[in-house]
Amino acid sequence: MALLTALTIKVSAQETPEAPQLEFALQLKVTLGEAFGIDNTQHGRRTVIPITGGTFEGPLLKGTIINGGADYQLNTENRTELEAIYCIKTDDGIYIHVRNRGIIASGKDADGKPTFYFRAAPQFEAPADSKYGWLNNSLFVCAPSFSSDFKGIVLNVWRVK
């Protein structure tokens, strides 16, 4: 209890806590199949976008995205909740499971200007005894890049330090 009190006093004394730092982990270039939807479910419109492949690369890993995953989206008026589930394979043959959950939201700011927000938090499941085990023990955030040169979605992923 004394430790908790000491920590509370120390945190209370700071005006603004230091923000966590981010370090670039990888970029995924995901190819997509034809989307289909289920209208008017009890939760909104369900959209499923097949993940058909692609590539990824970062300072510590590189490889391909395995065909067979999907991005499951739940759409309401100005908001989409997404959950993409798929696997990647490193160039040295290690399979890693990915579950990426996020939010896409559009609206207007206080001045009436349009706003767009798209962020997600991928979770990786790599073999713990592999050189990719570090993916299991960190939090990650990602944001898209949009390009007319690539037909799919490009996701930039950072590790929260």
pLDDT digits (tens, 9 = 90+) for 25-76: 999 999 999 999 999 889 889 999 999 999 999 999 999 999 999 999 999 8
Percent of the chain topping pLDDT 90: 78
Q: Do residues 35 and 47 lie in contact, with contact meaning Cβ atoms separated by under 8 Å?
A: yes
User: Stretch 101-107: mean pLDDT, rounded?
Assistant: 94
The pLDDT of residue 4 is 55
The pLDDT of residue 37 is 95
Indicate if the pLDDT at residue 94 is higher than 80.
yes
How many other C-beta atoms are found inside a 10 Å radius of the C-beta of residue 29?
A: 17
**Using CA atoms, how far apart are residues 45 and 37, in angstroms rounded to an integer?**
7
Written as six digits, the tokens of 139 are 């939090």
The pLDDT of residue 150 is 85
Q: Do residues 98 and 85 lie in contact, with contact meaning Cβ atoms separated by under 8 Å?
A: yes
The widest CA-to-CA distance across the chain, in whole angstroms, is 58
The residues that bridge with 52 in the sheet, in sequence order, are: none
Indicate if the pLDDT at residue 18 is higher than 60.
yes
